Amino acid sequence: MSLVEKDQKYIWHPFTQMKTAGPALPIVKGEGTLLIDDKGNSYIDAISSWWVNLHGHSHPYIAEKVYEQMLQLEHVVFAGFTHTPAVELCEKLSKHLPSNQAKFFFSGDGSSAVEIALKMSVQYWKNKGESKTRFVALDGAYHGETFGAMSAGARSIFSAPFTDLLFESFHIPFPKDEQAAIESLKTELAKGDVAAFIFEPLIQGAAGMRMYKPEILNKLMLICKEAGVLCIADEVMTGFGRTGTTFAVNQVEAQPDFICMSKGLSGGTLPLSLTTCTNAIYDAFLGDDIQKAFLHGHSFTGNPIGCVAAIASLELLEKEECQEAMKNIAARHKVFAEQIKTLDVIKDIRQTGTVIAIELKADSSGYASTIRQQLYQDFLSQGVLLRPLGNVIYILPPYCITEQELTKVYEVIEAKLKQLC
Ligand SMILES: *Cc1c(COP(=O)(O)O)cnc(C)c1O
């Protein structure tokens, strides 16, 4: 049996329509921005393997640090124990975070980081003797796959089978319409039972790379502050430079109470996530009463190997070279947008930092859109991995993408757009 046949026998892949999806593509090596298959074909990973990769695949510096740590200490229960990689990572990260972020809680994936922020917000109010249990989010929000994260997110085809089991949350209009978003938020907060406002700052990823300005986010956060409602910044996708700053909230004056991060945290190498919060949150859990403690922990919480990968990735991110590369990607996206903006098939082009999205007029939007499958296959056959979200083609590259590789990605997209005209 070939690898693909065995794969089809055993493996249940995410996001595939069981019957119509083609066989999975065996990848044998990753190097820089390239993924290489078993026949020697290479693909430019223009979506950073689902938004996780920062510095290219199998980066030797990260690999070395991981290997060394493996031989030193692979894992230890994190309840009551600690180690240098965890402490060093938090110390290094805190330099990039809003000044109010003081405490770091580890978990293993973005959905868990969000669950933790949601649970902490509800318990924070409970510990203070208040019953605030509802969440406000943005229309189109995506916060992860677990029940709490799904409940906070917008209802979609992903959550549809579980609708009856989701807790209710309120979704204000997407802040493209500033006034509508503000009014809706104020009305909802006035009800007095909202624990927290959760948002993907500046870019909504899964909704189709929908973007909004820091100024409006600032206004929404200030409204929450005034109403005494906690703010949760879900930076699982936007973190680690995607929006042009290390975190998207670095562009906003108001400071969130929680920040969730994962994906790029380990440079896309190992599952790791963090929920950070303020001392004010932490203090509400402090005391002698076990009922006030946050009784939540995952088996692999604080995994030292993940932590050293994250430290190594952060070191690479901080380098002048990488910061320049991020600026260069943003500048080239801008030029590309100018170059194609008059093409008739385009409904909207938007860009924030290193992420550019091209929304097509063609077909209905949404994940089930038929055009996305065609586009995906077409780009892949030309050696470029792009995974359109419905009718939105986006580029979210590792920062190490070369000039030539980026040019190729643009060329493949532009040719396709012209063909669609
Ligand atoms: C991917 C993502 C998540 C979920 O992270 P997982 O690691 O896939 O569980 C949550 N929020 C946002 C904004 C994301 O993009």
- Cβ of 144 closer than 6 Å to ligand 1, yes or no, is yes
Minimum CA distance residue for ligand 1 atom 5: 110
What digits encode the pLDDT tens for the residues 62-121? 999 999 999 999 999 999 999 999 999 999 999 999 999 999 999 999 999 999 999 999
What digits encode the pLDDT tens for the residues 285-301? 998 999 999 999 999 99
Q: State the pLDDT at residue 369.
A: 67
Q: Which two tokens stand for residue 375?
A: 């586009």
DSSP per-residue string spanning 227-258: HT-EEEEE-TTTTTTTTSSSSGGGG-SS--SE
Q: Report the percent of the chain where pLDDT is more than 70.
A: 97
The larger pLDDT score, comparing residue 19 to residue 59, is at 59
CA distances from 416 to 50, 156, 274, 377 (A): 22, 28, 39, 12
CA distance 306 to 56: 17
| C-alpha of residue 142 to centroid of ligand 1, in Å | 7
- Cβ of 262 closer than 6 Å to ligand 1, yes or no, is yes
Tell me which CATH homologous superfamily contains domain 3-58+320-420: Aspartate Aminotransferase, domain 1 (3.90.1150.10)
Q: What is the mean pLDDT of the chain?
A: 96
Give the bridge partners for 392, in sequence order: 359, 389
For residue 21, what pLDDT band results from cuts at 50, 70 and 90?
A: confident
Q: Residue 367 above 90 pLDDT?
A: no
Q: State the pLDDT at residue 373.
A: 86
Q: Residue 363 above 80 pLDDT?
A: no
- Calculate mean pLDDT across residues 3-14: 93
CA distance 245 to 233: 15
| C-alpha of residue 110 to centroid of ligand 1, in Å | 4
Q: State the pLDDT at residue 372.
A: 86
- Cβ of 154 closer than 6 Å to ligand 1, yes or no, is no
Q: State the pLDDT at residue 15.
A: 83
Neighbours of 414 (CB within 10 A): 15
Q: What would you measure as the largest C-alpha separation in the chain, in angstroms?
A: 68
For residue 320, what pLDDT band results from cuts at 50, 70 and 90?
A: very high
Structural domain spans, the chain: 3-58+320-420, 63-317
Closest to 301 (Cα-Cα) out of 26, 130, 81: 81
Q: Residue 41 above 90 pLDDT?
A: yes
Query: From the alpha carbon of 114, which atom of ligand 1 is closest?
Result: 10
- Calculate mean pLDDT across residues 129-142: 97
For residue 365, what pLDDT band results from cuts at 50, 70 and 90?
A: low
Query: From the alpha carbon of 149, which atom of ligand 1 is closest?
Result: 10
Buried b (16+ CB within 10 A) or exposed e, 272-310: bbbbbbbeebeebbeeeeeeeebeeeeebbbbbbbbbbb
| C-alpha of residue 86 to centroid of ligand 1, in Å | 22
* pTM for this predicted structure: 0.97
CA distance 218 to 197: 13
Q: Which two tokens stand for residue 61?
A: 């510096």
| C-alpha of residue 237 to centroid of ligand 1, in Å | 7
- Cβ of 244 closer than 6 Å to ligand 1, yes or no, is no
Mutate to test the pocket of ligand 1, among 109, 200, 236 (most ligand atoms within 8 A of CB): 236
Minimum CA distance residue for ligand 1 atom 6: 110
Q: State the pLDDT at residue 259.
A: 99
Mutate to test the pocket of ligand 1, among 51, 111, 156 (most ligand atoms within 8 A of CB): 111
- Cβ of 45 closer than 6 Å to ligand 1, yes or no, is no
Query: From the alpha carbon of 112, which atom of ligand 1 is closest?
Result: 9
Angle 203-386-236 from CA coordinates, rounded to 5°: 35
Instruction: Give the CATH number of domain 63-317; options: 3.90.950.20, 2.40.50.140, 3.40.640.10, 3.40.1350.10.
Output: 3.40.640.10
Give the bridge partners for 194, in sequence order: 134
